[in-house]
């Protein structure tokens, strides 16, 4: 596993916790569009 990829996954999880689980679907939509 690439360390930088692992860090960004952890960062992504932290962001989900910050914004709240109800916004996860919206966040995934945004990620897919980029």
DSSP 6-25: HHHHHHHHHHHHHH-GGGHH
* Per-residue confidence (pLDDT) for residue 1, from 0 to 100: 57
Q: What is the pLDDT of residue 34?
A: 64
Q: What is the pLDDT of residue 13?
A: 78
**Structure tokens of 4?**
């930088």
Cβ contact 26:15 at 8 Å: no
**Cβ distance 10 to 18 under 8 Å?**
no
pLDDT of residue 31: 80
First-to-last alpha carbon distance for the chain, in angstroms, is 23
Q: What is the pTM of this model?
A: 0.32
pLDDT at residue 32 greater than cutoff 80: yes
For the stretch 2-27, pLDDT in tens is: 677 777 878 877 877 776 777 777 77
């Amino acid at each position: 596993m690439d360390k930088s990829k692992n860090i960004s996954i952890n960062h992504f999880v932290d962001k989900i916790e910050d914004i709240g689980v109800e916004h996860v679907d919206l966040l995934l939509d945004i990620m897919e569009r980029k």
